[in-house]
Amino acid sequence: MGLSQPSLTPELQAFIEAQHVFFVATAPSGSEGHVNLSPKGLDTFRVLSPTQVAYLDITGSGNETAAHVTQNGRLTFMFCAFEGKPRILRLYGMARVGSCCRRMNNGTNWPGISQPYRASAKSLSWTSNA
């Protein structure tokens, strides 16, 4: 059964940092269009606080994420354990598209960056067989 809580704990942040792949999902408002679900990775996700996260969207599959976030702000992140005990963590939140940049806060240069996103978690849901 899934558990919900209002913010990230240090344990959940450590789980996020251990994952090499995560997924981003968005959808347009209304009945037109479709859900956009994309795998992400390459050290592009950061936990800024227990309720704030950010990630850099590297170009490749188009600009649907930015279009959906600009339209309605809704964004979901999903992290899955591919090793060890089964666990899934979903961050449901509201996001905004940031200014284009080529450098993360750790000084890493990223060629081909499309947009940085910053999201505020509205709720967290996680499941684990721990």
Tell me if 121 sits within 8 A of 8, measured CB to CB.
yes
Query: Which residues have C-beta within 8 Å of that of residue 4, sequence separation ≥ 6?
Result: 123, 124, 125
Tell me if 107 sits within 8 A of 50, measured CB to CB.
no
pTM for the structure as a whole: 0.81
Which pLDDT tens digit goes with each residue over 64-114?
888 888 899 999 999 999 998 889 999 998 888 876 544 455 555 545 445
pLDDT for the residue 124: 65
Nearest to 106 by CA among 24, 21, 51, 48: 48
The pair of three-digit structure tokens given for residue 33, joined into one six-digit string: 């269009």
Which pLDDT tens digit goes with each residue over 7-59?
899 999 999 999 999 999 999 998 888 899 989 888 888 888 888 888 887 76
pLDDT for the residue 102: 47
Q: Where are the domains of the chain?
A: 3-128
CATH of domain 3-128: 2.30.110.10
